[in-house]
Amino acid sequence: MYLHENSFSSTLPESLGNLKSLRFLDLHSNGYAGVIPDCISNLRNLETLNLQNNFLSHIPANIGDLQALKELDLSNNSLRGRIPSSITKLKSISVIYLNNNLLEGEIPQPFSSDQMSALRFLRLNDNLLMGSIPDSLGYLTSLERVSLANNKFEGPIPASLGNLRSLTELYINGNRLSGQIPSSLGQLSQLLILNISNNMIQEPLPQEMASLRNLQTLDLSFNRLNLSSIPYWLLKLPSLSQIHLASCRIQGELTEYLQSIPRSLQVIDFSDNNLTGNMPALIGSLTELYLLNLAGNSLVGQIPSTISNLVNLGVIDLRSNKLEGSVHRVFDIQTRFGGGSLTYIDFSDNRFWTGIEQIGTGMQQDIQYLNLSHNFLKGGIPTSIGTLGSMQSLDLSYNNIESELPPSLGNATSLERLKLQKNYFTGKIPNEFLKLKKLEELDLSNNMLVGEIPFGKPLIYFPKSSYLQNRGLCGTPLAPCRA
């Protein structure tokens, strides 16, 4: 019975329990609410039960009676209470998805290796589960993907996880786990993704992790790691394509780490550390890079011209450093895509003073987020900024920009957020700004603007604070202009 993605609502009928020959029941993406009725346990031939993306509130205690069940998906509901202990009796189960609910309590433990021996995929993430991750999870040696992320688990990472030799993905991020990473994780030779971020894990990192030769994504960000330096063996993991080490108290010059890093890396996140020195020209050799996040360090000097080689770059975040000179090089990045690859640029809170005249002039035309605030930028906004039709957020606040507001900015009709306060903008607000129908946040305060605010949506609906400290401005929502 496949009735998914309709507009069915109300509660699940008790009569479902009469369909005793049913093998596949898929009601996902409807509007069902209330409890899953106990009668569901009558469906002893049921192999797939998919009720995800509804508003169901309770898992029946006898769910373990479904001995033929292979796939159980109750994710994205409103399930409350504990996970029934009978779930460990599902002998044939291969898939359990209970993620994105409000489930509480501890994980029911299998008491022997015979229970749930075929389980391959387990998602319990984004609930309110607590207690420790049970050692008995190591019994489930068929597991390939496990997500326990974003719960309230405490205590150490159990060493028994090293028994899961088929594991390819492990997400235990967003909990309260403490202690050290067990050396047994180095036995997970098939592991592709390991995410332990946002916990309370401490150093040292076990060198046994150097055996994870298939590891593609490693995220250790936001723990209590005091790495001081990145271990050499970590940078040499041969399959690594994403490395996230935000807030790991890494010190030293960026150059020394980039010299050891694989050229095939696609994601580098070294934000919120204590990195020093220049951004080296070597950065241009990482031509597969999609995301570069070096925010919150103490980098100095200018952005190297070699950054134009990063033809796949989509996200660059260099905020809160001590970088200086021109921002124009990011707009010179070449592209192999129509419209360019860059969508997100944040260079705020640095010491840049020039380069904004290049905005919109290069091949990068699909920029959605641009933040150059809290710098020392001079000059004026070029008319070419109007070519950025995908721009959703533009922040040039807290600079020294001296120019009139370009009417062409009104062509950036996707803008939802425009912050230009604390500059030296002069002249009138262009009537073309009335074309910014999607604008939800506007701040033109603390400039030198004059004349009447163009009358119409959305400009007249912003608060006075959006226009204050412009001595020559008048009209709604400010005081009326004098005749």
pLDDT for the residue numbered 337? 76
Residue carrying structure tokens 């950025």? 388
pTM listed for this prediction = 0.93
Q: Is 238 exposed, middle or buried (0-12, 13-18, 19+ CB in 10 A)?
A: exposed
pLDDT for the residue numbered 362? 85
Residue pair 210/233 in contact (Cβ under 8 Å)? The answer is: yes
Residue pair 166/141 in contact (Cβ under 8 Å)? The answer is: yes
The token pair at 279 is 């951004």
CA 53, 59, 64 angle in degrees (round to 5)? 120
d(CA 143, CA 368): 39
Would the CA dihedral through 310, 311, 313, 317 be positive or negative? positive
Q: If the chain, 483 residues long, is cut into consecutive pieces of 10 residues, what is the mean pLDDT of each piece?
A: 95 94 97 95 96 97 96 98 95 97 94 87 98 94 97 97 97 98 97 98 95 97 94 92 97 90 93 95 94 98 95 97 96 85 97 95 93 96 93 98 95 97 97 97 97 95 96 94 82
pLDDT for the residue numbered 261? 87
Residue pair 347/372 in contact (Cβ under 8 Å)? The answer is: yes
pLDDT for the residue numbered 336? 80
DSSP 257: H
pLDDT for the residue numbered 403? 93
Residue pair 67/43 in contact (Cβ under 8 Å)? The answer is: no
pLDDT for the residue numbered 433? 97
pLDDT for the residue numbered 110? 80
